[in-house]
Amino acid sequence: MLLSFRVANHRSLRAEQQLSLTPGDGLDGSIDAGYEVVPVAGVFGPNASGKSNVIDALIYMRDLVRGSLRQSEPDAGIRRYPFALDTVVRDEPSTYVVDLLLGGVRYTYGLAVDDTQVVEEWMYRYSERKKCTIFHRKLDVYTYGEKSRPSMSRVAEITAPNVLYLSVAARSRQELVQPVHEWFDGVLDRGPEGIRPPGGALSGDSRRHAPP
């Protein structure tokens, strides 16, 4: 179950934007109290204000999680769609974060990518009102929580710079990451084709391949 989605530097979304499915603040750390999630959420605003790009960004994140291991070529970079009207922002990483409630447990998974590599990637699990690190990656430096298995460090050794650690860890059957990866397997499978990023979210120079 999706609690919230945050995105920055994606198409027309320059600063961080959040789609929240919890009333009010929602994600206040009160893990044991449970979450009230709204059954329907609306995104509204003027034409060309970026409404569809919020869903586009979630689809992009899903495609990256599901496809980075299969389709990324070595040293080919990452295809992305940064905000193009500011040359400074265009060169900054694009960031995508989901907060999920899966089997009664809350997870946060996020990633930041630029044109060449995964700049940062992290996953947290919340239990007994505490945030527990499953893994945190910053470029090629990885850290793990006390409950993470030693085999997770071996996954990092075979993860290329332009491939998500989550994708490799799920293929390696790391149990701690499986719930989140399985959620991405099912999200937005019936999403509108008209806003699906052309050619997927994988290798290539975004500025060369992105549509006008």
Encode pLDDT of 39-73 as tens digits.
666 676 666 656 789 999 999 999 999 998 887 78
Do 111 and 68 touch, CB atoms closer than 8 A?
no
**Residue range(s) defining the domain that contains residue 75:** 2-209
Q: Into how many domains does the chain fold?
A: 1
Q: From CA 85, how far away is CA 89, in angstroms rounded?
A: 8
Q: Tell me, what's the pLDDT at 27? A: 53
Instruction: Tell me: pLDDT of 19 over 70.
Output: yes
Q: From CA 63, how far away is CA 59, in angstroms rounded?
A: 6
In this prediction the pTM is 0.83
Chain centre to alpha carbon of residue 110: 5
DSSP bridge partners of 118 = 113
Instruction: Tell me: pLDDT of 31 over 80.
Output: no
Q: From CA 109, how far away is CA 86, in angstroms rounded?
A: 27
Instruction: Tell me: pLDDT of 192 over 90.
Output: no
User: β-pairing, 2-8 with 17-20?
Assistant: antiparallel
Q: Tell me, what's the pLDDT at 23? A: 76
Do 12 and 102 touch, CB atoms closer than 8 A?
no
Do 133 and 142 touch, CB atoms closer than 8 A?
no
Instruction: Tell me: pLDDT of 193 over 80.
Output: no
